[in-house]
Amino acid sequence: MDQLKGIASRRSFRILVAMLILLTFLHYCTPQVRFLPVSSFFLQRHVVERIIFILPVAGATFAFGQMGGLIALAVAILIMLPRVFLLSPHPMDAFVETCAVGVVGYLVVWMIEVQEREKRLRQQVASRFRTINAVTSIVTGSLELEQISASALDKISEIIKTHVACVYLLEGETEELVLSAHRGLSSGCITDATRFRPGEGLIGRAVRSGEPVVVGDVQEGPELTARLADAEDVRSFLAVPLKSSNSVLGVLALADPRPRLFTSQDMELLTAIGGQVGVAIENARLYESMRFYARQVTCAQEEERKRIARDLHDETIQRLIVISRRLESLATLLERSPEATHHLEELQRLTSDTLKGLRSFVQDLRPSTLDHLGLVAALEGLTNDLEKRSCIETTVEVRGEVRRLAPEQEVGLFRILQEALNNARRHSQATRVTVEVTFEPNKVRMSISDNGCGFEVSERMHNLVSTGKLGLIGMYERARLLGGRLVIRSEPGRGTTVGVSVPV
């Protein structure tokens, strides 16, 4: 009833009714013979009115589809039949003409329906490609597993419009499916349906078979009912495997509280999306493995630097100090020989310069201040050393409550500042550098600004490689390994600012 009221309230319906009333008036209230300037036998009959009845039939097909067109055609024929048998002086001819109009009207309805069906099909194909491209763009825009799962679910929920949507990922160690992201799950269901074993329920069956599993009504197939369906009291269920190179990495699960027939188009679309998400998940896991190995290499590198710095400080520097002291004693004994004294002074100066260079090298390798006093003291030591080496005015500003960070975080931020200051000294021609460190409850921000010549910042990483800016790549990677973000802002003639934010 509500649907009929909705149809009757549409403007197109009122226009069609008005057309039928007008054509009925012309069909019954005009004379059989008309006096027109161009008169012919064809126009002296009511064939024209009968043909014109095809117009509302076509309009109804466009407005209400094939069923609406057939209903309008039936109404038009019922309107024409009384004249055929009661009023027409040529009933047989009128009947043939009416039948011809019915056949032509049906062909018009069929042609319009075919055209509209092809149009809808083209729109569905275009929408499918747009959807796949949108999902591909979303999932390839990040290398974080949680962000990939959440972004893909948002887009899929928007398209398919289901009550529950979940992504389960297969754990390599336990070989269990673990809930990674969800939309529409209740808190109780999250607890009950966090893990599945391969082969358990719809979700586990999709993993084992590698093919989509769909049930329009779980009450018709109770053996397929999974804990997720039980917990959310859903009726229809669809599980699509997330695959990459024929390997199942997880499952996309969709559920609805009402019986629903998932169409073949839905299955094809979700299978294609599952393939894209699967590739993105594999890339994210490879990236996470690379980050893990990079962290291990960085830690090993820092440990090796610490060992070398300790050995140089404990052995080489101490021996150089002993040599310097003995040279001083020898110079005192040979004061009467000017030539010997001169050579000893040269040797002593060379030893002192080597000692200073070695101490600076040890400081660059691994400053003991960083381990003993923390990040801020090490940063102040770096800026003071920059002033002594290059006469660049430096300023360190610290905001927030200063605290110690994890060793890898302190080392990472220290190395980023070290590279930024080295770039300012070597390339920027700067006279002033400002370092700002801000301690916030959940992150630490650091900014290094100079008033140097600046440069064009490339938006792509591979451009940095081709131009030889490997130090900038190292800064980006160190920030990324810490789970943070590094931004470089610079323009020719306007200096450079390096900003880094790291969660703690």
- How far is Cα 238 from Cα 230, in angstroms, rounded to an integer? 14
> If we measure between CA atoms, which residue out of 177, 254, 243 comes closest to residue 210?
243
In the listed set 66, 99, 133, which residue is the last one of a domain according to the structure? 133
Residues 6+ apart with CB under 8 A from 368: 309
Same domain, 399 and 463: yes
Q: Are residues 153 and 191 in the same domain?
A: yes
Query: Do residues 106 and 162 share a domain?
Result: no
Q: Of 288, 317, 337, at which residue does a domain stop?
A: 288
pLDDT, tens digit only, all 504 positions of the chain: 666 677 777 888 888 888 888 888 887 776 654 444 444 444 445 677 788 888 888 888 888 888 888 888 898 888 888 888 888 777 888 888 888 888 998 999 899 889 888 888 888 777 777 777 777 777 676 677 777 777 778 777 777 777 788 888 888 666 788 888 878 777 666 666 677 777 777 777 788 888 888 777 665 554 444 555 555 566 777 888 888 877 888 888 888 777 777 777 777 778 887 887 888 778 877 777 776 766 666 666 666 666 666 656 665 666 667 666 666 666 665 665 666 666 666 776 777 766 666 666 656 566 667 777 888 888 888 888 888 878 888 999 999 988 988 888 888 898 898 889 888 888 888 889 999 999 999 999 999 999 989 888 876 555 565 555 667 878 888 888 888 899 999 888 889 999 999 998
| 147: CATH | 3.30.450.40
Let me know if residue 413 belongs to a domain: yes
Helix, strand, coil abundance in the chain, percent, nearest 5: 65, 15, 20
Q: Is the CA virtual torsion 89, 93, 99, 103 positive or negative?
A: negative
Total count of domains within the chain: 3
Please check whether residue 235 is in contact with residue 219, taking contact to mean a CB–CB distance below 8 angstroms. Answer: yes
Residue 13, in any domain of the structure = yes
How many Cα atoms within 13 Å fall on the side-chain side of residue 7? Answer: 11
Contact partners, residue 75, CB within 8 Å, separation at least 6: 20
Of 133, 161, 196, the position where a domain reaches its end is: 133
- Containing structural domain, residue 425: 368-503
Asked whether residue 305 is domain-assigned, the answer is: no
Residue 299 lies in a domain: no
Q: 131 vs 102, 419, 501, CA distance in Å?
A: 42, 43, 34
Do both 497 and 375 map to the same domain? yes
User: What's the token pair of residue 127?
Assistant: 């929408």
98 and 54 belong to one structural domain? yes
129/147 same-domain check: no
| Residue 108 sits in the same domain as residue 172 | no
Secondary structure of 35-72 in HEC code, one letter for each residue: CCCCCCCCCCCCHHHHHHCHHHHHHHHHHHHHHHHHHH
Asked whether residue 126 falls in the same domain as residue 151, the answer is no
What is the pTM (predicted TM-score) of this model?
0.49
Whole-angstrom distance, CA of residue 77 vs CA of residue 445 = 80
- Residue 354 located in a structural domain: no
Domain identity same for 230 and 161: yes
Residue 212: inside a domain: yes
Torsion 311-312-313-318 (CA) sign: positive
Same domain, 12 and 111: yes
Q: Is 32 exposed, middle or buried (0-12, 13-18, 19+ CB in 10 A)?
A: exposed
Asked if residue 194 belongs to a domain, the reply is: yes
